[in-house]
Structures are given as C-alpha cells and as structure tokens.
C-alpha cells in the first residue's frame, strides 16, 4: 500500500467504498469513513503489559493470511523501553490498544487486525465500527470427525462431503465479498477524537476511539482530524 501513487490510492478507495455500499451497508446505514489496508503492526498495553507486535489474546476466527515478512518495530518500542507515547514515532505501528483486560473492545480490535496483516481495514458507518476483510480471507474451521465407523457413519461422511463441496462452490463466488471480521455498534463507542502523538515534529496524527467499557484504540490516520468529526 505504501508504494501506491495518490491516484491509485484514490481509485482503490473508490473501489472499496462502492463494495461496502453494495455488500456491507444495511438499508438506511451510511458510510462515514474507511482506512485502506496498510503494512504495519498493532500494539497493545493490557493491564500495564506492553505487547508489540500484538498477538491475539482471545479467540478469533482463523485466517488464510500468511505472517508478514515486514521489518519489525524498533527494539526500543517492542521492548517497552519508551516513554509515554513515543511508540507513535515508529511508523510501523498503525494501531495501539489500551485496556484493563483482554476482553475489552480495543483489544478485540487489535486481535482481529493482527490476525489479518496487510488485508484488514477499518470502516465506520452511522451504525458501527468494523474490521473489514474479504470473505475468502477467513479460513474454515476444521470439521468435526463423523460419528461412528459403520455404514451410518460413512453415509453421514459422504453427505457432509457433498454439502461441503456445494458450500465450497458458493464460497468461491463470495470470496471477494466485503464482510465484518469484528465489529461493534456505535452505542459501544463513547467518543472519537483527533490525537497528535509522539515526540516528532510534526507529531503523528492518530484517531482516538474511546469505548464504553473504558478501553481505547489509537489508529494512525492522516485524516484523523476530519474522521473524528465523522467526515470522509
């Protein structure tokens, strides 16, 4: 994403806005803003413990996306040897979650963003905030073993294989569809605000999302000031 020209980025944005309008938005729901997929990491501070790169702390749906071979964040940031918001000066850090426990909303966003590196993006609408991916990026869970080993078990297994094949054909058709990998309704968001962070000059622009459960998520966003007011 970092190598795309301004024109290519605009075309990609228009493509995703059209897909979301067609496939993701419900009747009466309007799109507020989207952030295109980027190469970078989520970090977190949960109960005072820093984790960078963030790894899921709760269960998430499995992903078909391979682990990235990107440069890791700086040793100062990944080791926690930074002061205050200095983590924001590392351009590889795209999101940072602060929470008291792993079940809070900001951490659940970090969990899902970390599981879909380079392909997941955030989208906000009049109704919800979501981690959005193409449906084909979400892997199928391993099927349970068929019951019994006799003819009934074999019959059930054959029927399951036929059903799975039919579902596979349908899934391939829908693999590019935009779906929520994780989302929360706007009722679980207390506020959004522009938050310049770090010690660099100019400071790095972030969008701060405060959740009703007391956790917050910082999102690196060049348009944070506009997005904090709901403008696209």
pLDDT, tens digit, for every residue of 14-70?
A: 999 999 999 999 999 999 999 999 999 999 999 999 999 999 999 999 999 999 999
State whether residue 75 is helix, strand or coil.
Answer: helix
State whether residue 2 is helix, strand or coil.
Answer: coil
| Structural contact between residues 44 and 112, judged by C-beta atoms closer than 8 angstroms | no
The model's pLDDT over 217-231, given as tens digits with 9 standing for 90+, comes to 999 999 999 998 866
Q: Please give the Cα distance from 217 to 107 (Å, whole number).
A: 8
Could you tell me if residue 37 is left (phi over 0), alpha (psi between -120 and 50 degrees) or otherwise beta? beta
Closest CA to 77 of 64, 90, 68: 90
Q: Which residue has the higher pLDDT, 174 or 232?
A: 174
Segment 185-195 shows an average pLDDT of 97
pLDDT for position 229: 80
Question: How sure is the predictor about 174, in pLDDT bands with cuts at 50, 70 and 90?
Answer: confident
Closest CA to 44 of 113, 84, 96, 109: 96
| Count of alpha carbons within 13 angstroms of residue 167, beta-carbon side | 8
| Average pLDDT along the chain | 88
Query: Is the Cα dihedral 103, 87, 61, 20 positive or negative?
Result: positive
């Amino acid at each position: 994403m970092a190598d795309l020209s301004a024109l290519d980025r605009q075309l990609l944005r228009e493509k995703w806005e059209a897909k979301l309008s067609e496939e993701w938005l419900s009747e009466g729901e309007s799109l507020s803003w989207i952030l295109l997929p980027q190469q970078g990491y989520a970090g977190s501070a949960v109960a005072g413990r820093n984790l960078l790169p963030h790894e899921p702390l709760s269960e998430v749906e499995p992903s078909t996306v391979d682990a990235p071979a990107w440069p890791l964040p700086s040793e100062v940031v990944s080791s926690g040897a930074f002061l205050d918001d200095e983590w924001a000066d590392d351009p590889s850090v795209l999101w940072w979650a602060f929470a008291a426990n792993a079940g809070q909303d900001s951490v659940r966003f970090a969990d899902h963003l970390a599981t879909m590196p380079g392909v997941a993006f955030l989208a906000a609408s009049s109704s919800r905030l979501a981690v959005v991916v193409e449906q084909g990026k979400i892997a199928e869970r391993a099927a349970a073993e068929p019951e019994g080993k006799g003819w009934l078990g074999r019959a059930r297994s054959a029927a399951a294989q036929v059903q799975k094949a039919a579902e596979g054909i349908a899934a391939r058709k829908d693999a590019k569809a935009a779906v929520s990998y994780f989302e929360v309704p706007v009722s679980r968001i207390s506020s959004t605000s522009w938050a310049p962070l770090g010690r660099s000059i100019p400071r790095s622009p972030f969008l701060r999302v405060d959740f009703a459960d007391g956790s917050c998520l910082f999102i690196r966003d060049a348009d944070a000031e506009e997005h904090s007011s709901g403008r696209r």
